[in-house]
Amino acid sequence: APGEHPSGVWGNGERGPAPGARPGGNSKTPTLDKYGTDLTEAARQGRIDPVIGREKEIEQTVEVLARRGKNNPVLIGEAGVGKTAVVEG
């Protein structure tokens, strides 16, 4: 969620190409590379801290993602309640 990104993952607020993006515009997903962040790659590189105390929420999110249909979880809440922690978990 906006405003909740830890500086270790998101840097100074400006995004460059996603980790693993192909240089020179050869990417199959240029818009995602420009505006998105590859959390899988960030985790592989150790740039995401372990999540503690959000096991239930992470499990619920994974269950929604694993559904055959209507598998789009939406995390809603006030700033600072842990939405980003669930996504990074």
Model pLDDT for residues 37-51, shown as the tens digit of each residue = 998 899 999 999 888
Angstrom CA distances, 59 to 15, 54, 70, 82, stand at 29, 9, 16, 14
Distance between CA atoms of residues 10 and 74, nearest Å: 21
22, pLDDT greater than 70: no
Predicted confidence at residue 18, as pLDDT, reads 53
- In whole numbers, what is the pLDDT of the chain averaged over residues? 79
pLDDT bracket for residue 9 (50, 70, 90): very low
16, pLDDT greater than 60: no
Token couple for 8: 């270790």
For residue 23, the tally of other CB atoms under 10 A from its CB is: 7
Q: What is the DSSP code (8-state) at residue 23? A: G
> Domains, the chain, ranges and CATH?
7-88 (3.40.50.300)
Nearest C-alpha neighbor of 78 from the set 18, 1, 20, 15: 1
Predicted confidence at residue 3, as pLDDT, reads 47
